[in-house]
Chain A
């Protein structure tokens, strides 16, 4: 009983801190401060998921929600010019309108939460009953890659669309930040990158493999891979232009293409789209997740770069110096 009380106290403190952090993040006028608070919010949110016995979501929240989104926001902030930063309070009218709308939203949310049945079984019994047919023993992976693989497929599509949007708006990178490696790169950062990147790649492979029977999977593995990419970009390494054309695009789409083609490949054998025969399901899921990990990792890293890397065909730009010829 004593132990339960201590844990309850911890949960209450955690919940209150989350609400407070969310408020601080939204009300901060200094964007840099807001981003740092957002990252802290993500880390505590991951802890909350652990407390809710959802380690898969916790992993995704920590790697993508806190880590990569934080890095993306910081890189976006760095690209905003000083004049674009709006650090004044919006007008009273806007604040009042938003306040009223949010008030109704809170009422609606509270009504929904309070009207939920107190004891819901959900679909976890069904999932547990059919786990043998899914080809994996981790129920989360079974849901994401087999029972509800539509969702995962569409998520890959959304990620690709997001990258296309960024590339359309961001223009072509001239590799200007990537001067030939010299004294510009901090030697400590360089060393840390050299030590960590191989470990990140190995760990990404581990998360991918372990996803079949324990928390892990394509999105978490992809996020770790992307973190390696972010570190590499920060250390001013860059993709040689001969790889940033077809090779890069192939890796970006391979997850989606492979997923769809695997989904169709058993339609001929009287299965529905994305329905796999149980005897192949385990292997197929691993293959799909491997391709998805690559695409997710490279897409997220490319999002961090914020622009389309220059290719050989961008001949009006000098790749080495970034100067228009």
Chain B
């Protein structure tokens, strides 16, 4: 019961991060701030959802698989975010200033 409640809370907070990340991606002014918003959804949002699913997993094998998925996405996500920002900077896109 406590596990279920915890799962629901983690899922909701995770979904909130995804929502905020998506909003940021749509509404932020330039590529750097959009990347910033996106990585929050990928890293923290997905992490929370993975933890929530781990609590419901039947076996440690599934827990390991879920953890592995998160680590892989962290690795790929941060790498890609760096590449996008790096390319943008090389093309002379200036960071947004108010």
A interface list, Cβ under 8 A from B:
186, 188-189, 191-192, 195-196, 199
Contact = CB atoms under 8 A, between A and B. Distances in A.
Interface of B: 72, 75-76, 79, 82-83, 86
A200 to B, nearest CB: 10
Contact of B72 (A186, A188, A189, A199): A199
B82 A188 contact: yes
B86 A192 contact: no
A186 B81 CA distance: 13
15 contacts: A186-B82, A186-B83, A188-B79, A188-B83, A188-B86, A189-B79, A189-B83, A191-B79, A192-B75, A192-B76, A195-B75, A196-B72, A196-B75, A196-B76, A199-B72
For the complex of A and B, 7 pairs with smallest distance between CB atoms:
A192-B79, A188-B82, A188-B79, A189-B83, A195-B75, A186-B86, A192-B75
Contacts, number: 18
Given A192-B76, A195-B75, 13 more contacts: A186-B82, A186-B83, A186-B86, A188-B82, A188-B83, A188-B86, A189-B83, A191-B79, A192-B75, A192-B79, A196-B75, A196-B76, A199-B72
A186 B83 CA distance: 8
Contacts of B72: 196, 199
B58 to A, nearest CB: 16
Contacts of B82: 186, 188
A182 B79 CA distance: 19
Contacts of A196: 72, 75-76
Contacts of A186: 82-83, 86
A128 B12 CA distance: 41
A242 to B, nearest CB: 31
A165 B86 CA distance: 35
A118 to B, nearest CB: 36
SS class, residues of chain A in contact with chain B: helix
SS class, residues of chain B in contact with chain A: helix
Contacts of A192: 75-76, 79
Contacts of A188: 79, 82-83, 86
A213 to B, nearest CB: 16
Nearest to B80: A192
A189 to B, nearest CB: 6
Nearest to B81: A188
Nearest to A187: B82
Contacts of A189: 79, 83
Contacts of B83: 186, 188-189
A186 B75 CA distance: 15
Nearest to B82: A188
A189 B86 CA distance: 11
B38 to A, nearest CB: 14
A192 B72 CA distance: 10
Nearest to A199: B72
A63 B76 CA distance: 16
A137 to B, nearest CB: 19
Contacts of B86: 186, 188
A185 to B, nearest CB: 11
A221 B14 CA distance: 31
B40 to A, nearest CB: 19
B18 to A, nearest CB: 15
Contacts of A199: 72
